[in-house]
A and B are shown apart, each in its own frame.
Chain A
Amino acid sequence: MSEKPQDIKAIPSGNSLWKEGMGRFMHNKLAIFGSVFLFILVLLCVLAPLIAPYSYETQNLSYGSEPPGSSHIMGTDPLGRDLFTRILYGGRVSFSVGLCATAVSVLVGVIWGSFAGWFGGKIDTIMMRMVDIAYAFPFTIFVIILMVFFERSMLLLFAAIGAVEWLTMARIVRAQVMSIKHQEFIDAARGLGLSTHRIIFRHILPNITGPVIIYSTLTIPAVMLLEAFLSFLGLGVQPPASSWGILIREGAETMEEYPWLLVFPGLALSLTLFSLNFIGDALRDALDPRSSRE
């Protein structure tokens, strides 16, 4: 704990751990680069209908497999569709899968984990053994079964990925809640007559937001990768809609003749993943309470 000597004269308005953490975050160059890159990319994808030079599904066979040039800056695929446009539209799918599935996993994981952690004992044992069982279930088979039994849809894709990703979140949240539950300020809150409801919402949940946010930023790329993987296998988004996974698969088929079809979607995905991971790492360093006590 640092005691600033000038405290006696000029007292700064309180700096929360959040503010201090964000200050440290702003010093991380890679994270800043990642945030800016992501911001631009997301903006481009969101604005795709306005700025895309072509339609993402209109085929123009006379311009098939054009290399990057002045009319198609990233070239075209064998069906003559503009790759830049398809990447933008594919990004919309990839980002929305990433965000929605992560949101599902955070929601379920936080509720499940905090329940198990707060109540402990038998409830905890039962809930966490269920998580263990779900962990052991092979993901690909799970998704294939889902796809066979239900209609293929984006919603199902969100649900399937979210259903797998919440498991780790639940474990993290449970561990956090358990360690915070035994800290003295929770005892103090109980000793001062606070209700359980107030203790959970005012004292426990704010204390786990750091780890939850950090893990979410690391979940988003994992989910996007899963979506790409499923689309690559043909289990995800269906043509003519595009996602980065689909574009990479199509690019991989013609890799030797038309390498740009693989390079550009691959770049978009990997740079996004890098950026998200940089941000996640920086957040972890910035929000970790241990690093604030230097």
Chain B
Amino acid sequence: MSFNNLDQLYRSVIMDHYKKPRNKGSLDESSLTIDMNNPTCGDRIHLTLKLNNGIVEDAKFDGEGCSISMSSASMMTETIKGKHIDDALKYADVFSKMMLGEEIDEDTIDELGDVAALQGVSKFPARIKCATLAWKAMEKGVKNESK
């Protein structure tokens, strides 16, 4: 058995978010709701966002999925809370680039916080969709709202 390669994927910070998800649950009915699933594997996310004057005041998620998809959702909500939606969308863009294995500058990495731990996912092509699910849901919701 070998687990060396796996350590690039499964970092303690990821497993911590998986086992103790932040912002788990659902905001009240007045909030923006996005449901998304990954039909190929069955992962699903229910994301609720409270937007006020272009600021993401609160974010919660619920759902089912693997450690990568659920930890990514947990980290994403942490990162975007309190941020302007333009920044949230910028981070989503950075995250997509990160999943493609592109270099991200140090300052942006710092802004992303725990999310940076997901960089290793880019080396596991079959798992990229797991990591991007929550971000795609957030992008969809925010873009619809700002139309």
Instruction: Tell me if chain B binds chain A.
Output: no
Instruction: Give chain B's interface residues, CB within 8 Å of chain A.
Output: none
